[in-house]
Structure 1
Amino acid sequence: MTAHRFSEPLDLPCGIRLKNRFARSAMTEALAGANDAPNDGHQKLYTEWSKGGVALQMTGNVMVDRRYLERPGNVVVEDDTNLDALRAWAEAAKSGGSKIFMQISHPGRQCPIVVNTRPLSPSAEKLRILGLFGKPKAMTSDDIQDAIRRYAMTAEIAQKAGFDGVQIHAAHGYLVSQFLSPITNQRTDDWGGSLENRAKFLRQVYAATRLAVGKDFPVAVKLNSADFQKGGFTIEDSCQVAQWLEQDGIDLIELSGGTYEQMSFVNGTEEQQRESTVKREAYFLEYAREVRKAVSVPLAVTGGFRSVAAMEQAHIEDGIDMIGLARPLCVQPHAVNTILEGTAERIGINEDGLMIGQGRFGANAQNWLIKLINTVSQVEYYAWQMNRMSRGLMPQTDARNNAIGYFVWYLNRTTMLGLRRKFARRP
């Protein structure tokens, strides 16, 4: 496919036009200080990405509740206290011609113990990973209504600050995803049981958000294609939820997959890790084809895209409206420009150097700790690149064999940011 096909604009149902078919998918920056506000680092990072040619940027997890974070360093938006800083962030992200959506999120039980020892979740099912997460409290009806209100409030402030839209994070095992999955939602009231009941939280979050921002402001959702866990959220569930969201008036659905217990959004499913290089690309494309059959709303797919050929197939043959890119843009922030100019056949780096153990991503390493270190090291290598760009430096694209180093960097940084935040004075 020639580059001009990717250059075609995309009109969302609300009326906003995106200039091409590339989105920079959300990645947690962890750049906020103890005040949970965006800063100069966010501006530098998003300015660089905006110059890179993408039509749409999604922020990393912006938390709706200061008590519960995905990790220390998240931006939190509960009110308009940091409105000027938010405006500066939005302006920087749009400086090169891209649109910027704020990804609004609540971690649920995936809240590190250094932030809160008793996070909230639909049910009291603990996340057992190295003791990094506390035992959650099952949400009361008041907790649920408070969370719904918070999503809507954060979206309203994003609109006021000049963001072009919001994306409700309903994937990767965070709170909305926890409501959708039978593994983490074992409630017996109106918020659990049937898929219709499990989807009620997401639909009410969307309804409250839409009411807060109006019909002309884009509201998107990031949705799991599946949990990839036995007894979890399935592709059939995903298709049905997508249909309900389309009926409700959603503007864009971005498909991903997995949770902290099955991190398919990092390196694909275990089956894909054993496949050939071509088949390892576009982790969730097979599932996206099913969702594409179920809905006509604009659809984005993120996860694993590296070759232009795979992107072309997804866009032309499979009817995917937007290609979501994340990790490649941490090491090549202007990669989309090279694709649009027709000078790139492949983007990103060879990640094998980030792993310990045998096989790509340690797929043949049976020890669970090695698998965990490999997964975290991938994520943190790219977090390190974002940190560099936030300081005005360019990425270091040599993927050195230092998996344990990146793992330790994550533990140290998370702990230090968490402690600094815990003891900071608040107004």
Structure 2
Amino acid sequence: MSELLINQPLPLARGPALKNRLAKSALSEALGSADNRVTPQLVRLYRRWATSGAGLLMTGNVMIDRRAVGEPGNVVLEDDRDMARLREWAAAGSAGGSALWMQINHPGKQAPRGLNRENVSPSAVPFGPKLAPFFPVPRALTQTEIEEIVRRYGNTAALAKEAGFGGVQLHGAHGYLISQFLSPHHNRREDDWGGTAVKRRRFVIEVYREVRRRVGKDFPVGIKLNSADFQRGGFTEAESLGVIKALAKAGIDLIEISGGTYEEPAMQGLRKASSAAREAYFLEFAEKVRAQVKVPLMVTGGFRSLAGMEAPLRADALDLVGLGRILAIEPDAPARLLRGQETRHRVQPLSTGFKLLDGFGSLEVTWYTRQLHRMGRGREPVPDESALKSFVLDLRSKGVGILKARRLRA
């Protein structure tokens, strides 16, 4: 099926070409140990995905600071104590010829109550009423702390390169710290880090520059960025386009377009008719981006069929098709697609049967994370597992994880 565009390699400005146009987008594995180290389960999961045939595999959140973890089970990378395990992870994920990039992140205020000693953010803005019971009010970062966090991004990226990962991706979407700095809702500073769209984007530009300084001129660096937050007073498409143009000018190698936050999860529930017809959620925005920048674009969210993936490639609206949830229930899906076959399963909306629970942005995350844990144990995913069962078991698991984290801090 060589005529399929998804089979074509993708050259990048830095690093080797990707062998095809299918990419596994980052998924939250939460398979790190209680003290946030790489585990055999994580290596086993990526060894499984390495046989899928995808051209690019993105890891889930790797945190840059053990004082700021987004969820129990995150891996933290701030020194070389785990270098042997990291090298094993990097080797497992790239064994099939895929490029394996590490997604690096800081949660800011988006960490469950009790997990960290405190949560920080650009400004001390609480979550809205729906999520406020689960997330504490953050403390506003000082200038010195912001500069330290910037350095930490560079340090983690350098360690990822040393371990053998093929690139890094900055997580600038879905309400985490970079996303918080970009949002006028979360960032209400009036200093050099906020107050205008240009000042709000300073943080991500400084992070990129520090990462580039630490990894050198030949190592790929990408970013996952919201097209918009879809939140009143939040990050808009116009602001996102401004950030993308600034990052393109700075030299970013790959931009993955996504959208939404925990408070406004854009990739759940009903879609407008135009998005449903074209499958992917953010194609219209990708077309606007493509008209103004030439950086390779990856779009994630909503792809269901082979035709839906091929069409935007043929229209030159994107360069990489990002696949996420399908790889949690059908880990070999890319191999079928590259042979010109449809996937065996289709991603369907999840429902617990309780509207309040279904409204939590974390529902889909927790359900799919459980499937990743099954594969990490060497078992098969269960595509029809009860969403309510998953939600309840995840609450118990997170509670245990938070208690373990507290004991380790004591």
TM-score (norm 2): 0.95
What are the superposed Cα offsets for residues 361-411 of structure 1, whole Å, 9 maximum, x if unpaired? xxxx8x5x24325x53322221111001000111112x24x3322111221
- Work out the CA distance in 1 between the residues paired with 2:178 and 2:374: 31
- Work out the CA distance in 2 between the residues paired with 1:350 and 1:149: 38
Which residue in the other structure is 1:381 paired with? 367
Counterpart residue type for residue 302 of structure 2:
G
C-alpha displacement of 1:7:
1.2
Which residue in the other structure is 1:415 paired with? 399
Aligned partner of 1:342 among 340, 343, 349: 340
Is residue 372 of structure 2 the alignment partner of residue 371 of structure 1?
no
Matches within 5 A, 1:73-152: 73-116=73-116, 118-128=118-128, 129=131, 131-152=133-154
Provide closer, same or farther for how the CA distance between residues 192 and 276 of structure 1 changes in structure 2, counting only shifts above 3 A: closer
Q: Any conservation in 1 of the 2:28–2:365 contact (CA below 8 Å)?
A: no
Provide closer, same or farther for how the CA distance between residues 347 and 110 of structure 1 changes in structure 2, counting only shifts above 3 A: farther
- Work out the CA distance in 2 between the residues paired with 1:372 and 1:3: 42
* Residue aligned with 2:188, SS: coil
What are the superposed Cα offsets for residues 6-61 of structure 1, whole Å, 9 maximum, x if unpaired? 11111111242110001100011001112211111011100111100111111100
RMSD after superposition: 1.9
Which residue in the other structure is 2:254 paired with? 252
- Work out the CA distance in 1 between the residues paired with 2:125 and 2:177: 12
Instruction: Give the number of equivalent residue pairs.
Output: 408
* Residue aligned with 1:223, SS: strand
Q: Any conservation in 2 of the 1:227–1:233 contact (CA below 8 Å)?
A: yes
Provide closer, same or farther for how the CA distance between residues 105 and 19 of structure 1 changes in structure 2, counting only shifts above 3 A: same
Q: Any conservation in 2 of the 1:149–1:208 contact (CA below 8 Å)?
A: yes
- Work out the CA distance in 2 between the residues paired with 1:167 and 1:350: 25
Structure 1 runs of 4+ with >6 Å offset: none
Q: Any conservation in 1 of the 2:351–2:358 contact (CA below 8 Å)?
A: no
What are the superposed Cα offsets for residues 243-278 of structure 1, whole Å, 9 maximum, x if unpaired? 1111100000000001111011x426x5x1x64894
Which residue in the other structure is 2:279 paired with? 281
Aligned partner of 2:189 among 159, 178, 187: 187
Matches within 5 A, 1:315-354: 315-344=313-342, 346=343, 348-352=345-349, 354=350
Q: Any conservation in 2 of the 1:327–1:348 contact (CA below 8 Å)?
A: no
C-alpha displacement of 1:65:
0.7
- Work out the CA distance in 2 between the residues paired with 1:145 and 1:15: 28
Q: Any conservation in 2 of the 1:307–1:347 contact (CA below 8 Å)?
A: no
Q: 313-322 vs 45-54, which deviates more? A: 313-322
**Identity over the aligned pairs, expressed in percent?**
46
Which residue in the other structure is 1:362 paired with? none
Matches within 5 A, 1:290-329: 290-329=288-327
Unaligned runs of 5+ in 1: 358-364
Which residue in the other structure is 1:230 paired with? 232
- Work out the CA distance in 1 between the residues paired with 2:157 and 2:258: 22
TM-score (norm 1): 0.91
- Work out the CA distance in 2 between the residues paired with 1:183 and 1:409: 33
Q: Any conservation in 1 of the 2:352–2:387 contact (CA below 8 Å)?
A: yes
- Work out the CA distance in 2 between the residues paired with 1:174 and 1:414: 19
- Work out the CA distance in 2 between the residues paired with 1:347 and 1:8: 23
Provide closer, same or farther for how the CA distance between residues 194 and 377 of structure 1 changes in structure 2, counting only shifts above 3 A: closer
